[in-house]
Structure formats: C-alpha cells, structure tokens
Structure 1
Amino acid sequence: MSKFNKKKGGELPPVNTASLPDIVFMLLFFFMVVTVLRDNNLLVKNQLPKADQVEKLQKDRAVYIYAGKPSARYTDKYGTEGKIQIGDKYTDVNSLKFALTEARAKLRPELQDRVMVALKVDEETNTGLVTDIKQELRDLNMLKLIYITSPGTELDQ
C-alpha cells in the first residue's frame, strides 16, 4: 500500500502575474486610441442654426471663430453682450486681426495662404457682430468663409 502525504501548509499557490504587463499595455493603447482630446473650451453659447444642405469641412486648413453670448457660467464675469471666441479666449473686434494672424500662423506653411475661416455663430447673435467679423476678414484678405450649421431644417424640432 502506498502512503499519501499531506501538504504541510494549507496555503494557496501564488498568482501568476506573467501576463499582467500585456494586459496593462493593451488597456493603455485602447484608451489612447479611443480618447478624444478637446481643442477648445467653449466660452460662448453655441446653438447653431439649422440647414438642409451641409458639407463636411477639412479641419487641417480651417480657423474657427465662435460668436455668441457668453455661456451661462460666464455671464457674471463677461455680461450678456455677444462675444467673439478664437481658441480658448475671448477677443474683441479691435484685436481680431491679431488673433486671426496668430491662428493662421499655427497652420502648416503650405496652407496659410489657402486658409478657410469657419464661423460658428449662435442663432441668436446680433448680425452687427457678424458684419464686423466679416469686415476684419476682408481687411486680412481671408475671403474663404464658411458658416457652420447643424443638419436639419427649421421645421424640425
């Protein structure tokens, strides 16, 4: 007859962690691919008007100008008048040329002459503000202008 030996300690065997670095790197790459980084913090209210004929814009050659009343969390500091936002900061009509020149300089050199200006204007914004922006764009010879809208028609609610 054979003897059965009992294990002396009732301990559990150690956990195999050989595949743990693979799992960690796989999760790291997943989140790097899936995460979208925001370019700008939107400081103005931006309820875009609706249009039924919309077309996609190439983002690599566009400078975005946001116009509208300040968002609800900024009304105490900036009031309720229409504001212009380029990048992450407000600008006024007088310093718009400088801000646009700076934004144009950030583009690739071969696209700086063919820059498109994309206006994202809130549907309740005063037309005078848009006219002032367009006049400054004419002075800078930035004549390719696109109005960004949301798809749909005004009848859609």
Structure 2
Amino acid sequence: MSKFRNKEKGELPAISTASLPDIVFMLLFFFMVATVMRDSSLMIENQLPSADQVEKLKKDRTIFIYAGKPSSQYKQFGVEPRIQFNDAFITVEDVQSSVYQGISEMNEELQSKVVVGLKIDKNTNAGLVSDIKQELRKANALKVMYIANTKTEKL
C-alpha cells in the first residue's frame, strides 16, 4: 500500500479573480494619467519652418492661431492659405474677436499675460501673416511668438 494516491481526474483549480478589479483600475488610472488630450484638430497643412534658437514656453497662457493651405480632408475650402482658430476656419476680420474669445476662456490671472502663438506653414505668403499681425495689434495682443521646429536643414 502506498501513502500517495494517483488522482484520476487532473482538474485545474478555479482561477481566482479577486485581484482583477485592482488590475483594471490600475491600468485605467495609468492611461488617464499618461494620455495627452489634443486641444484642436489640425485642418490645414502645417510644415513649420526650422530655427536654431528656440525657447519653450508654457502652454497654459498661449492661444494658437494656425495658417496654411487646407489639408486633403478639407479641399472643399480651396487651395488658398486659410486661418484656423481652435477647430474652425476664420477670416482675417474674425481674428480680433477670436482672440478676445480665447482670452475670455482663460483664468483671470493669466488673461493679462496671454501670448499668441502663430503656427504658420512655411509656404504661406507673408501678406497673410502681416494681416494677422495687424488684427492682433487691434486686439491689443502684442505678445506674439512664432512656432518653429528645432531641426535645421543642411544644404
């Protein structure tokens, strides 16, 4: 007689699911912290010019204005360079009111420190940029920065 009996059925024990909610909430928390939300979707082609001296500023006090040709999804708007603010195309005349709207949506302590960031496609003509700057002067948004890539092209 042997002390050990052979099991006739080799059934596996049930899997414990006690730690499953902990794992799910840990993954949920990780993705909530690690995910970056996009402010607005780009409706134009935007190849930024390159620069060798670039300074990074905080985005909490920045309003972005984009300019460039409409992307392939928005070809119904033509091929001429357009101005985009948030998720809408605007005209040069609407720049002033859009800047006022963007400033009013900010915290009160940041409203006096607002900086307008211009993300202008490198193939956009200077006349449109000049018109945008004139409208920014009318809106008293005098702190303007040009957004550029840090890569320098070697010829």
Per the TM superposition, whether the score is higher than 0.5 is yes
Residues 3-42 of structure 1: matches in 2 within 5 Å?
11-42=11-42
- The alignment-based identity, stated in percent, is 55
One-letter identity of the residue aligned with 1:104: I
TM-score normalised by the chain length of structure 2: 0.91
* Cα distance, 1:10 vs structure 2: 5.3
Task: Give the Cα–Cα distance (whole angstroms) in 1 for the partners of residues 150 and 12 of structure 2.
Answer: 61
Structure 2 SS opposite 1:94? helix
* Cα distance, 1:143 vs structure 2: 0.4
Which range moved further: 147-156 or 133-142?
Answer: 147-156
Structure 2 equivalent of residue 46 of structure 1: 46
One-letter identity of the residue aligned with 2:61: R
Residues 52-91 of structure 1: matches in 2 within 5 Å?
52-75=52-75, 77-91=76-90
> Is contact 1:63–1:116 with CA below 8 Å preserved after alignment?
yes
* Cα distance, 1:145 vs structure 2: 0.6
TM-score normalised by the chain length of structure 1: 0.90
Task: Give the Cα–Cα distance (whole angstroms) in 2 for the partners of residues 44 and 54 of structure 1.
Answer: 23
Distance 1:5 1:121, change over 3 A: same
Task: Give the Cα–Cα distance (whole angstroms) in 1 for the partners of residues 14 and 106 of structure 2.
Answer: 55
Give the unaligned 5+ runs of structure 2.
Answer: none
The yes-or-no answer on 1:128 pairing with 2:122 is no
* Cα distance, 1:11 vs structure 2: 3.7
Task: Give the Cα–Cα distance (whole angstroms) in 2 for the partners of residues 3 and 154 of structure 1.
Answer: 80
Could you give the per-residue CA deviations for residues 36-94 of structure 1, whole angstroms, max 9, x where no partner exists?
2111100011100011100001101111000111112211x100011111111111111
Task: Give the Cα–Cα distance (whole angstroms) in 2 for the partners of residues 41 and 54 of structure 1.
Answer: 24
* Cα distance, 1:12 vs structure 2: 3.0
* Cα distance, 1:2 vs structure 2: 7.0
Structure 1 equivalent of residue 111 of structure 2: 112
> Is contact 1:51–1:154 with CA below 8 Å preserved after alignment?
no
One-letter identity of the residue aligned with 1:43: M
Which range moved further: 4-13 or 44-53?
Answer: 4-13
Give the unaligned 5+ runs of structure 1.
Answer: none
Structure 1 SS opposite 2:145? strand
Aligned residues: 155
One-letter identity of the residue aligned with 1:93: V
* Cα distance, 1:3 vs structure 2: 7.7
Could you give the per-residue CA deviations for residues 84-134 of structure 1, whole angstroms, max 9, x where no partner exists?
111111111111211111111111111112211110000000111111100
Task: Give the Cα–Cα distance (whole angstroms) in 1 for the partners of residues 145 and 3 of structure 2.
Answer: 88
